[in-house]
Chains A and B, each alone.
Chain A
């Protein structure tokens, strides 16, 4: 198993390159050395490992109009304008059904490949988008953690040190990727994911470029942390403790390491499946190309925004769910065609659900517990957890019946096969049977 330092050295720097060690590599090296001795290490070897795709529904998805409790009178009473009638849904049980904008997810449910976890949330919920998103991304309900739940998975269970262990398709690195050693990379369009240089002597320019974009001599940052300027700031998936220059140098190096592989692999796969023109569909298409190309990536992260439906919700929310459904339909068809569908599980999440009662603008305000989807042939289909009561409310909101970290824990242990959840989630949470054994 290569350490990050060895990995980087052999990948871009060449065995003979003389260079000294800046803070982040020193740390990685030191910690890995100790940690890897008795860790049941799990390889970051692409081809047959399992893959998790995390899909964020940004803005607070209205769980009650996603998984509709059509048989509950309280639902219809609270939402005279927004409630879905029984004939307008895809019936899943005597109590609940799926919003009819999601026919593909309906068929996936019937085939037993879609799990819906009901009533997911956390104690003392926060109704701020930003705080609650941070809580979901860090897995820390006190919102004090400087690292994310996926970043801790990369750090603690993926000692291959390859920065492409996690790839995000967001404009900014998600907070869940925040890590001490390896926060993954960000990708928007593979075609542009390289340094393009003109002129005659390509090789010469590239050599200088390489020199300028590798971490500088360890002139300023002793590895004991004495000169660490400031704690890791806010909502970035970076490495806490780096100053801005060390951070930039690390990202520049990660970009160089990952750019060649990503370009090569992305060009390999051409799909026959048609995707919609939405940003979500486009990004899932990229994910499928990465998977087809054999990237060693364990976690992909994509977002679908617009769920903050305070106003005239009906059409916009249905449309957002239809876009989700369409994108997932193409994505899973594509994976199936590649023969990779059994390797992929997709999880959706949103920072909170919405108030049970509708507001004056035919929309809904910020709420608490909501449902989420776990999709893929590896999933144990069906309804998981207990649907929260629509009458026993906390200030007008649903109370959670499942802690979101139970969902994380079950996926980490049963799907990603993380050997030890303690360093990732900090505590034990009851496991859900959402992965097929």
Chain B
């Protein structure tokens, strides 16, 4: 076990836990969380009092509706084929094209709705760690709707991740083998006896469970033979295993031989001690900091193996550890774009973001939900930040705080397109109300620049800033006080505070 953090805990430590294990909160939420005490706070994260189905997905994602839609589509296709007889080849081709274009439009619209649905759920949930783990699994078993093209399958995968949020890593991996979205993404759907497709066999070892260097090319080739014969039913979207297309011959993987199928390969992988170390490192780096010491990994991997790959004990050990709460861990991590956006909205006490924000902002900052760049997921840490994305963060903060007039934000909403996606809905800048500054910065407080700044520093940074930075803010607030300190000056001040390197850390 890792050495535990000592009690009592500070307000800053509570904010740190809420930031990392969730997506932050307003000052009031942080104070309420702090009052629980460290252990109870961790318990509340791991056993949230919110039903997993508290946020119903869009209606088209419900099972019966999806089945009905698929049937209707098949019917339309049949009708179209029937109506072809009297047409010239050219007309027939046009009809076909129109049909597929309409289908694609619907799918793109669904993908946008799915993205908006999950983003709002992350923002408003009372189970923040469950959503954070869902995001972790989404990045870990990365699958993009751009290739899968069926948003309903992506939503089902998302629900799978949520069900297993603190569950068993091996069982989740078994479930992923037969998850339709993953099967399409990594081509297992078409992998057959005789000429297996190696895509899934490679990534399951390299990216999902063991890491590069802990398997041989031979293991991959043999395992690929085991991952054959899976199929997805076109109507129901459910997976089946077709024995006749499965390679039933003998395979040798990790030195063991047998007529393995997919399940057996996953079982063999989890017999490797490396599987526990691999996940222990990844989860630590996700929640705490990069490059942990070997002793941290030894301890966590031990816990994880003992718990037979249950995530819950692993997470509890991390969140109660001294190193997690150490001053060097606090505000040392670069926020991912989802964290940046959700945390900012919570700090500004906004529960309904402007239309289009999740997608347009996600594109600007480099993280669109359900569209990871490749099967390795997103690159984290410093990779989020470059000159372009940093300026985009500053300008987005200007838009959300209303501290800058970014031209109705047309530049955000109008021009940016993701390949293969419908143009995102516009961010409706002109009608964007912005935060309630009477609450965030009450007028009497504006008379006392130092107090105002310290209150805003707690809201945005939850910890002390270097004197130089703090003094700059105070200087600015003092200069404003001399004139008229209206809500728009407050907005400008907030925008300035957010347009800093410090704000990118959590």
Contact = CB atoms under 8 A, between A and B. Distances in A.
Nearest to B285: A233
Given A233-B382, A311-B190, A363-B197, A196 B388 contact: no
Contact of A192 (B291, B384, B386, B392): B392
Contacts of A305: 373
A205 B472 CA distance: 11
Contact of A310 (B199, B334, B502): B199
Nearest to A58: B374
Interface in B181-238: 186-187, 190-192, 194-199, 202, 206, 212, 217
B499 A209 contact: yes
A198 interface: yes
Interface string A126-169: 11111100000000000000000000000000000001000010
Interface in A249-270: 249, 251-252, 254-255, 258-259
Interface stretch (A181-189, A374-382, A403-411): A181-189
Contacts, number: 202
Contact of A252 (B334, B466, B489, B501): B501
Interface stretch (A31-39, A114-122, A240-248): A240-248
Closest 6 CB pairs of A and B: A360-B195, A186-B386, A248-B501, A361-B190, A255-B387, A198-B404
Interface string B468-506: 110010011001000000001101100110011110110
A187 to B, nearest CB: 5
Given A188-B388, A244-B505, A230 B366 contact: no
A198 B492 contact: yes
B363 to A, nearest CB: 9
Interface stretch (A8-16, A61-69, A210-218, A287-295): A210-218
Contacts of A187: 387-388
B499 A360 contact: no
Contacts of B382: 233, 236, 238, 244, 247
Contacts of B199: 308, 310, 365
Contacts of A247: 382, 385
Given A310-B199, A311-B190, 12 more contacts: A59-B374, A188-B389, A192-B364, A194-B391, A196-B406, A205-B496, A208-B476, A209-B499, A233-B381, A235-B383, A308-B199, A311-B197
Contacts of B339: none
Given A185-B387, A311-B190, A236 B381 contact: yes
Given A244-B332, A245-B505, A248-B334, A205 B492 contact: yes
Interface string B365-407: 0100000011110010111111111111011001000111110
A173 interface: yes
A359 interface: yes
Contacts of A235: 379, 383
A129 B376 contact: yes
Contacts of A359: 195-198
Given A197-B398, A205-B496, A212-B496, A258 B366 contact: no
A58 B374 CA distance: 10
Contact of A366 (B202, B334, B379): B202
Contacts of B388: 185-188, 193, 255
Contact of A233 (B290, B374, B375, B488): B290
A254 B411 contact: no
Given A171-B366, A247-B382, A208 B405 contact: no
A103 interface: no
Interface string A354-372: 0000111101011000000
Contact of B385 (A188, A205, A243, A248): A248
Contact of A245 (B191, B391, B501): B501
A127 B221 CA distance: 12
Contact of A230 (B291, B406, B491): B291
Contacts of B416: 189
Interface residues of A, number: 71
Contacts of A131: 212
Contact of A128 (B202, B391, B406, B479): B202
6 contacts: A163-B387, A185-B387, A198-B405, A205-B496, A209-B496, A311-B190
A90 B20 CA distance: 56
A278 B419 CA distance: 7
Contact of A197 (B202, B206, B492): B492
Contact of B499 (A204, A212, A231, A278): A212
A356 B248 CA distance: 25
B226 to A, nearest CB: 14
B505 A361 contact: no
B476 A255 contact: no
Contacts of B394: 195
A244 B330 CA distance: 12
A303 to B, nearest CB: 10
A156 to B, nearest CB: 22
Contact of A173 (B332, B386, B404): B386
Nearest to A323: B419
B333 interface: yes
A395 B220 CA distance: 13
A313 to B, nearest CB: 11
B212 A199 contact: no
A244 B496 contact: no
Given A196-B404, A279-B419, A172 B392 contact: no
A211 B472 contact: yes
Contact of B387 (A171, A254, A366): A254
Contact of B391 (A127, A234, A259, A308): A259
Nearest to A195: B394
A217 B465 CA distance: 13
B472 A127 contact: no
Interface residues of B, number: 71
Contacts of A192: 364, 391-392, 395, 411-412
Contacts of B491: 198
A94 interface: no
A216 B196 contact: no
Contacts of B78: none
A171 B381 CA distance: 14
A191 interface: yes
A219 interface: yes
A126 B220 CA distance: 13
Given A205-B492, A233-B290, A195 B499 contact: yes
Nearest to B332: A244
Report which residue of A189, A231, A244 has the largest number of chain B beta carbons within 10 angstroms of its beta carbon.
Answer: A244
A163 B373 CA distance: 26
Contacts of B405: 196, 198
Nearest to A215: B501
Given A173-B383, A186-B389, A195-B394, A233 B291 contact: yes
Contacts of B496: 197, 205, 208-209, 212
A248 B502 CA distance: 8
Interface string B324-365: 000000001110000000000000000000000000000010
Contacts of B187: 310-311, 361, 363
A145 to B, nearest CB: 16
Contacts of B386: 168, 172-173, 185-186, 237, 251
A171 B469 contact: no
Contact of B191 (A127, A234, A361, A395): A361
A235 B373 CA distance: 14
Nearest to A237: B386
B439 interface: no
B415 interface: yes
B392 A130 contact: no
A243 B190 CA distance: 45
B32 to A, nearest CB: 29
A208 B197 contact: no
A244 B383 CA distance: 11
Given A185-B386, A230-B290, A366-B202, A213 B500 contact: yes
A259 B373 CA distance: 27
Report which residue of B390, B416, B472 has the largest number of chain A beta carbons within 10 angstroms of its beta carbon.
Answer: B390
